Amino acid sequence: MKLPFPGQELVALIVAVSFAAGLNVYATVATLGLLAHAGALELPEKLELLGNWWVIGASSALFAVEFFADKIPAFDLVWNALHTFIRIPVAALLAYRATSGLSPGAQLLATAAGGLIALAAHGGKTAMRAVITPSPEPVSNMALSMGEDVVSIGLTWLTAHHPVLATSIAAVFVLVVVLLIRWVWRALRRLFRGAERVVSGSDSGMETQG
């Protein structure tokens, strides 16, 4: 079923896909591309490139890398810290490209909204990791990562088939993160400190070997 993008579908693309990208940007881009290529989703003109097999292949390969990297305790701290500078800008860029037909002011507002929604998703994700990762057993970390992958892909799929539901789910998630913003901020600070210790420990180990 093809869905053009006036109105609620465009809102879903910005809200739900931005949240999904904040969780796993590679899975989101790959899913959007596959849906577009299969004819299940008609992307805005400036996003049609996502349906190219090269883009689908590259994003799928990066998703495969993240699938394993994100499930390694301690290393996932570094991975998620670095992806602060990937997930949020890409979500903002997707929102910007999707709204190219709107006025400059509306496009700027949509871009900012996409980045902020992705920030909320990424912040909530990494805050949970900062709490779960120190656990001595790896199962909880792996289960959380799997759940994030499912939510990311599921929200993107819902954007094509049930845009109102996708928007509602993403909005509820964003609201939860906003309500817990103080806890999220503290957890993020712990996350970055933990990532710094992991990197420092790796550097020290290399110097010792040298």
Report domain extents, the chain: 8-202
Q: Which of 119, 132, 121 is CA-nearest to residue 191? A: 132
Q: Is there a contact between 5 and 42 (Cβ–Cβ < 8 Å)? A: yes
CA pair distance 37, 111, nearest whole angstrom: 25
At 3 the pLDDT is 42
pLDDT tens for the chain, residues 1 to 210? 344 455 778 999 999 999 999 999 999 999 999 999 999 998 999 999 999 999 999 999 999 999 999 888 778 878 888 899 999 999 999 999 999 989 999 999 999 999 999 999 998 888 887 777 766 666 888 888 999 999 999 999 999 999 999 999 999 999 998 888 877 777 667 666 665 665 566 555 545 555
Q: Is there a contact between 75 and 198 (Cβ–Cβ < 8 Å)? A: yes
Long-range contacts, 78-81 (Cβ 8 Å, 24+): 78/195, 78/198, 78/199, 80/122, 80/125, 80/126, 80/129, 80/191, 80/195, 81/126, 81/191, 81/192, 81/195
Tell me if the pTM is above 0.75: yes
At 1 the pLDDT is 38
Q: What is the DSSP string of 89-145?
A: HHHHHHHHHHTTTS-HHHHHHHHHHHHHHHHHHHHHHHHHHHHHTTSSSSHHHHHHH
Place of tokens 């799997």: 146
CA pair distance 90, 32, nearest whole angstrom: 13
Handedness of CA 93, 172, 119, 155 (dihedral sign): negative
At 203 the pLDDT is 54
